């Protein structure tokens, strides 16, 4: 559906918001409605949007979701990932997945509109804290410090296997897999399996 609070020209054109209906998404739609005609829902609007805003509360499936929208057409509009808070790992993964930007619910309506306007021009939009975060994380990740077993387990993580599945492959208990992963996270300076997999994938 198209949300348009007032009959005024909309400089941002149509912005497609793919977010579950909630109090947060309602605020997002209303803020965007000041400068855009907002189409909300999983189905595409009847006209080409200037920007797609994709809600994401976790890293799970983020790359696939961004990739799906990028492949909708040869001239797919910029994709901006919307998070519930300033989540730097999520912002980094969104940009690595091919998104044009990251915005979040802690931004003011004015900041949000400015970010979407920039993204609609084809420029990248990212939190100013992201560069420092990425540089720090890349510096702290020491792949050479991983044991052979930790590297073997992370290889399976990259393939998308769960801890239980990895345990069956290696004839180890799920708790043992978790212990190896926790130790690997500490060595790599990451906090979850998505960050570890991304770092391991880049390093290998």
Q: What is the average per-residue pLDDT within 20-43? A: 90
User: What is the domain partition of the chain in residue ranges?
Assistant: 2-134, 141-203
Give every CB contact of residue 44 below 8 A, 6+ residues apart in sequence: 16, 72
* 141 vs 87, residue with greater confidence: 87
Backbone angles phi, psi at 176, to 5 degrees: -65, -40
Q: How confident is the model at residue 140 (pLDDT cuts 50, 70, 90)?
A: very low
* H/E run at residue 149: helix 148-158
Q: What is the average per-residue pLDDT within 48-65? A: 87
Strand-pair partners of 52: 16, 79
Distances in Å between the Cα of 86 and the Cα atoms of 31, 82, 91, 142 are: 18, 10, 8, 26
Give every CB contact of residue 182 below 8 A, 6+ residues apart in sequence: none
Q: What pTM value is reported for the model? A: 0.64
Q: Which CATH class is domain 141-203?
A: mainly alpha
Q: How confident is the model at residue 127 (pLDDT cuts 50, 70, 90)?
A: confident
* H/E run at residue 138: helix 130-140
Is residue 190 pLDDT above 90, yes or no?
Answer: no
- Our measurement of the distance from residue 164's CA atom to the centroid of its chain's CA atoms, rounded to an integer in Å, reads 26
Q: Kindly report which listed range (18-27, 66-75, 98-107) carries the lowest average pLDDT score.
A: 66-75
Q: Which CATH class is domain 2-134?
A: alpha beta
What does the pLDDT look like over 9-25, one tens digit per residue? 688 899 999 988 888 88
- Reading the block at residue 98, the tokens are 């091919």
Is residue 52 pLDDT above 90, yes or no?
Answer: yes
Q: What is the average per-residue pLDDT within 165-181? A: 93
Mean pLDDT of the chain: 85
Q: Which residue has the tokens 């997002």?
A: 28
């Amino acid at each position: 559906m198209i949300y348009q609070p007032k009959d005024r020209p909309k400089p941002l054109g149509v912005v497609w918001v793919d977010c579950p209906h909630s109090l947060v998404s309602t605020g997002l739609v209303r803020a965007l409605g000041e400068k855009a005609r907002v189409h909300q829902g999983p189905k595409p609007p009847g006209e080409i949007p200037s920007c797609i805003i994709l809600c994401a509360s976790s890293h799970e499936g983020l790359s696939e979701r961004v990739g799906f929208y990028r492949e909708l057409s040869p001239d797919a509009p910029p994709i901006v990932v919307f998070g519930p808070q300033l989540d730097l790992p999520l912002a980094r993964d969104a940009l690595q997945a091919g998104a044009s930007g990251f915005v979040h619910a802690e931004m003011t309506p004015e900041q949000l509109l400015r970010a979407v306007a920039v993204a609609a021009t084809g420029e990248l939009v990212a939190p100013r804290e992201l560069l420092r975060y990425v540089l720090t994380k890349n510096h702290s990740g020491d792949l050479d410090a991983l044991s052979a077993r930790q590297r073997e387990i992370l290889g399976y993580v990259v393939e998308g296997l769960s801890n239980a599945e990895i345990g069956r492959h290696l004839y180890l208990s799920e708790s043992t897999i978790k212990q190896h992963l926790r130790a690997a996270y500490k060595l790599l300076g990451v906090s979850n399996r998505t960050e570890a997999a991304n770092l391991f994938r880049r390093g290998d």
